[in-house]
Chain A
Amino acid sequence: MSRLIVMLLAAIGLFCAVPSLAQEEQSTAPYAYRQLDDPAKEQQAQDLMETLRCLQCQGQSIADSDAPIAGSMRSLVRERIASGERPEEIRAWLIERYGDYVSYAPQLTSLTWPLFAVPLALVLLAFLLLRRRFRRGGDR
């Protein structure tokens, strides 16, 4: 009996699921779900994709998303890498087009310099703190 119910549910479920699956948009761009044949170039593309933000989703890289735009961007990255472009050129092109937001690797600009100044300041601060501490406390 319970088996029958499960089967019935499965049948109903399939009926519901299949149309929704068909509706689910997936990128049809050629290289969205296809790797490059050259493993070295695929690795390059993968490394770059992991540092680009999917603009449609929240807080995911294009390498981690099923959103259509992420698929299209993956395809774009792979195609450009395959045609011999360097990863940083592709990043620059994307930033020019979509803004700094698209890159998880902040570029050094007049706006983002504190991001790079703070770690330096922290190194300095840590050094000073430790030096001061052990200058005073060093004597037995």
Chain B
Amino acid sequence: MIAELGLAALWLAAALAALQLVSGALGLTPKGAALAGIVRPVAVVQGLLALTAFICLIYVFAVTDLSVKLVAMNSHSMKPLVFKIAGAWGNHEGSMLLWVTVMGMAGGVVALIERRLPERTMLATLAGQAFVSIGFYAFLLIASNPFERLSPTPVEGNGLNPLLQDLGLAFHPPTLYLGYVGLSVAFSFAIGALVTREVGPAFARAMRPWVLAAWIFLTAGIAAGSYWAYYELGWGGWWFWDPVENASLMPWLAATALLHSVSVLAARNALRAWTIMLGVVAFSMSMVGTFLVRSGILTSVHAFAVDPERGSFILVLLAIYIGGALTLFALRAGTVTEGERFALVSREGALVFNNVMLSAILGIVLFGTLYPLVAEAMGAKVSVGPPYFNPMGALFVVPMLVVLAVGPLLRWRNDRFGRVGGRLVIPAMLVAAGAMALLVMGGVSLLPFLGLVLAVGLAWASLLPLRERKLRRTPLAVWGMVMAHFGVAVSLFGMSSESAFSIEKLVAVNAGDTTEVGPWLVRLDGVEPVAGPNWTALEAQLKVRYKDADPVMVRPQSRSFWTPPQQTSESALLTRWNGQLYAVLGGEGEDGRWQLRLWWKPFVTLIWIGGLLIAFGGVLALIGRVKSDLRRIIARDRTADRRESQGR
């Protein structure tokens, strides 16, 4: 019953999306102007219907209604409730339903609150949002119905992949989806502006909160995903340049560029066409990412939902939306002027430089991810991995970081290096000192070396915009920028330190043996069996000691899940201020000794702390922007009221 309710809600939502598209498009013509009034309410109701369908799906998963095929395939009555619920979106159909739900809700919120833009641009925007939604509704209803029934009802479900039964992963995909789909709003705004040719600061201010919000979710989602891979896969790696990781990185790169160019548009009325272009590209990258993940076209550790037929459906959608948007852009870009001019040495100049760098990195990631497909089509299998992406990316990341240190100090429009040079003496000295220290120490390869010294310089330089400001009167958006840029330095330091200073130790030990890894002494007290709700495990009792500190117990496990039967290793992490001890229990050898894999990873946690700082900087900026927008709206309303009362 609930499943049918969900399905009905989904069909209704699709129908309303069609109505929204038609009435929005007709509303732009003189004859159809009467239809314009219904577009906003329709958008709101469409969002609510999609949400209803999603809630129905969560319900059938929560009660484990095994007569629903999707539940039977992906869930199990013995699973903890939180993973039953998370299981609703831990599969192909559910995740696509989550996609349209977020998209519908976002459209509804835009319809409800956005009043700054000319009504015609709003109509075109909402029609654009509906146009994209329809494709995904069709995809759900035709090719991946989440509410399909199963007869006869099975006695028990198939269970969820144990790797996914983890709190971090339960909330990592929805976070990323919020980011992906949030960019659809930027895409629709770009379409709307292209249709009506109204591009300017007001447009940028309307678009900016959406870009910021999407970017925050993407940042947090990528950081969470990376940490999950780090502790769950059990080998201490945190980024593999795996196609699925790249799929989330590409929209992030585009969104980062868009975020900065939309700020230039809002503040200076420059970079108009470029901002529109990035709006189109950012969501296109989200769709490309979804296509790569959902079609399973690229072999990858993450491709849990492999289905080439659905892949071709998404490929058609991709062609329609990306092709359509780019065609519209090509037709209209000539009539959208670039806007205000500025010099190379200026705030805008630095932002443009880094926009170009980000786009180039995006180009390399996209090309490197897709090239194995091209090669395969030509009859040869190649792999493109870290040895390619790291140096090629660094080619653009290094100049970008240098400009990132200088840019925020420059004035808008036109400036001289001489004016800001004095303030950069200390960061430059830090870089030199760091380089010297590392050279004396020796043994650090080029990329981590560059990463470490640049991180130190950037950390200092990123705080400089706060100098000569009254801290209490500094706008939140500036705090946000400083925090995010500081986060980049922190994260970079963590990455480089992990890569330069990690110590690995693989040993086979008997109970009672002690081994050494970096500054730690590790003693195996014994291996014991333990049981969880749907797994049993062997657990190593490790007594570890950092230098002369008191010993601490850590307990890595080797888990066996029953449904589906699968083994995972649960690594044990011990965090200290200066790094993490990472312990994994391997198999038992024939001689009765246990395999242990141990790592000491100095400052590795900074990778994710930096990621959170970046996301939190985004949150501060978002609060600041929304607050000042509200203030502006209230002020405008007051003047309008005053005029009205004076007029009487």
A and B found bound together: yes
Once bound together, how far apart are the Cα atoms of A97 and B20, in whole Å?
Answer: 58
Once bound together, how far apart are the Cα atoms of A46 and B531, in whole Å?
Answer: 35
Is B530 part of the contact surface with A, judged by Cβ < 8 Å?
yes
Tell me whether A105 and B506 are in contact (CB under 8 A): no
Once bound together, how far apart are the Cα atoms of A139 and B233, in whole Å?
Answer: 55
Given contacts A129-B356, A130-B356, contact A140 B383 (CB under 8 A): no
Question: Which residues of B lie under 8 Å from residue A105 when comparing CB positions?
Answer: 385, 387-388
Question: Which residues of B lie under 8 Å from residue A134 when comparing CB positions?
Answer: 343-344, 349
Complex: chain B residue closest to A114, CB-CB:
B371
Tell me whether A10 and B386 are in contact (CB under 8 A): no
The answer, among A14, A60, A122, for a CB contact under 8 Å with B240, is A60
Is B360 part of the contact surface with A, judged by Cβ < 8 Å?
yes
List which A51-75 residues lie within 8 A (CB) of chain B. Answer: 51, 53, 57-61, 63-66
Complex: chain A residue closest to B504, CB-CB:
A46
Tell me whether B383 and A53 are in contact (CB under 8 A): yes
Instruction: Give the contact stretch, choosing among B187-195, B327-335, B362-370, B416-424.
Output: B362-370
CB within 8 Å: A-B pair count: 156
Once bound together, how far apart are the Cα atoms of A21 and B414, in whole Å?
Answer: 68
Question: Which residues of A lie under 8 Å from residue B368 when comparing CB positions?
Answer: 115
The answer, among A13, A61, A66, for a CB contact under 8 Å with B560, is A13
Tell me whether B381 and A59 are in contact (CB under 8 A): no
Majority secondary structure, A binding face: helix
Given contacts A6-B531, A101-B381, A133-B352, contact A122 B388 (CB under 8 A): no
CB distance from A109 to the nearest CB of B (A): 9
Given contacts A122-B360, A138-B344, contact A50 B560 (CB under 8 A): no
Once bound together, how far apart are the Cα atoms of A111 and B371, in whole Å?
Answer: 10
CB distance from B64 to the nearest CB of A (A): 20
Complex: chain A residue closest to B362, CB-CB:
A122
Size category, B interface? 35 or more
Is A92 part of the contact surface with B, judged by Cβ < 8 Å?
no
Once bound together, how far apart are the Cα atoms of A14 and B364, in whole Å?
Answer: 49
Q: Return the CB mask of B374-402 against A: 1 if under 8 Å, else 0.
A: 11001011111111100010011000000
Question: Which residues of B lie under 8 Å from residue A77 when comparing CB positions?
Answer: none
Given contacts A35-B504, A104-B385, contact A17 B360 (CB under 8 A): no
Tell me whether A100 and B383 are in contact (CB under 8 A): yes
Tell me whether A58 and B303 are in contact (CB under 8 A): yes
Complex: chain A residue closest to B529, CB-CB:
A14
Tell me whether B341 and A137 are in contact (CB under 8 A): yes
Tell me whether A100 and B381 are in contact (CB under 8 A): yes
Once bound together, how far apart are the Cα atoms of A74 and B300, in whole Å?
Answer: 21
Tell me whether A59 and B536 are in contact (CB under 8 A): no
Complex: chain B residue closest to A15, CB-CB:
B536
Is A118 part of the contact surface with B, judged by Cβ < 8 Å?
yes
Tell me whether B299 and A17 are in contact (CB under 8 A): no
Q: Return the CB mask of B450-483 against A: 1 if under 8 Å, else 0.
A: 0000000000000000000000000000000000
Majority secondary structure, B binding face: mixed
Tell me whether B388 and A9 are in contact (CB under 8 A): no
CB distance from A94 to the nearest CB of B (A): 12
Tell me whether A14 and B381 are in contact (CB under 8 A): no
Tell me whether B375 and A51 are in contact (CB under 8 A): no
Given contacts A106-B388, A126-B356, contact A59 B299 (CB under 8 A): yes
The answer, among A46, A50, A60, A118, for a CB contact under 8 Å with B367, is A118
Tell me whether A112 and B375 are in contact (CB under 8 A): yes
The answer, among B299, B387, B530, B558, for a CB contact under 8 Å with A104, is B387
Given contacts A35-B506, A59-B299, contact A17 B538 (CB under 8 A): yes
Tell me whether A61 and B395 are in contact (CB under 8 A): no
Once bound together, how far apart are the Cα atoms of A15 and B207, in whole Å?
Answer: 59
* Chain A interface residue count, Cβ-Cβ cutoff 8 angstroms: 55
CB distance from A73 to the nearest CB of B (A): 14
Tell me whether A34 and B536 are in contact (CB under 8 A): no
Is A84 part of the contact surface with B, judged by Cβ < 8 Å?
no
Tell me whether B380 and A111 are in contact (CB under 8 A): yes
Complex: chain A residue closest to B536, CB-CB:
A13
Once bound together, how far apart are the Cα atoms of A120 and B452, in whole Å?
Answer: 26
Complex: chain A residue closest to B386, CB-CB:
A104
List which A94-126 residues lie within 8 A (CB) of chain B. Answer: 99-106, 111-112, 114-115, 118-119, 122-123, 125-126
Is B587 part of the contact surface with A, judged by Cβ < 8 Å?
yes
Is B636 part of the contact surface with A, judged by Cβ < 8 Å?
no
Complex: chain B residue closest to A7, CB-CB:
B531
Given contacts A33-B586, A104-B388, contact A111 B382 (CB under 8 A): yes
Question: Which residues of A lie under 8 Å from residue B131 when comparing CB positions?
Answer: none
Question: Which residues of B lie under 8 Å from residue A140 when comparing CB positions?
Answer: 343, 414
Tell me whether B392 and A106 are in contact (CB under 8 A): no
Tell me whether B375 and A111 are in contact (CB under 8 A): yes
The answer, among A14, A99, A111, A112, for a CB contact under 8 Å with B536, is A14
Complex: chain B residue closest to A135, CB-CB:
B344
Is B595 part of the contact surface with A, judged by Cβ < 8 Å?
yes
Tell me whether B364 and A119 are in contact (CB under 8 A): yes
Is B56 part of the contact surface with A, judged by Cβ < 8 Å?
no
Once bound together, how far apart are the Cα atoms of A68 and B292, in whole Å?
Answer: 28
Question: Which residues of A lie under 8 Å from residue B392 when comparing CB positions?
Answer: 119
Once bound together, how far apart are the Cα atoms of A55 and B360, in whole Å?
Answer: 31
Is B342 part of the contact surface with A, judged by Cβ < 8 Å?
yes
The answer, among A12, A46, A53, A111, for a CB contact under 8 Å with B378, is A111
Is B11 part of the contact surface with A, judged by Cβ < 8 Å?
no
Question: Which residues of B lie under 8 Å from residue A20 when comparing CB positions?
Answer: 560, 565, 567
CB distance from B15 to the nearest CB of A (A): 40
Question: Which residues of B lie under 8 Å from residue A59 when comparing CB positions?
Answer: 240, 242-243, 299-302
Given contacts A16-B536, A33-B595, A119-B364, contact A100 B529 (CB under 8 A): no
Once bound together, how far apart are the Cα atoms of A15 and B235, in whole Å?
Answer: 28
Complex: chain A residue closest to B387, CB-CB:
A105
Complex: chain A residue closest to B341, CB-CB:
A137
CB distance from A66 to the nearest CB of B (A): 8
Once bound together, how far apart are the Cα atoms of A59 and B536, in whole Å?
Answer: 28
Tell me whether B301 and A115 are in contact (CB under 8 A): no
Instruction: Pick from A16, A50, A112, A122 the residue with the most CB of B within 10 Å.
Output: A122
Question: Which residues of B lie under 8 Å from residue A53 when comparing CB positions?
Answer: 383, 385
Residue positions of B touching A, CB distance < 8 A: 233-235, 237, 240, 242-243, 299-303, 341-344, 349, 352-353, 356-357, 359-360, 363-364, 367-368, 371, 374-375, 378, 380-388, 392, 395-396, 414, 504-506, 508, 529-531, 535-538, 558, 560, 562, 565, 567, 569, 586-588, 595, 597
Q: Give me 5 A-to-B residue pairs in the complex whose CB atoms sit less than 8 angstroms apart, sorted by A's number.
A: A21-B538, A58-B303, A59-B302, A115-B368, A123-B395
Which 6 interchain pairs have the tightest Cβ spacing? Answer: A13-B536, A104-B385, A105-B387, A10-B531, A64-B235, A101-B381
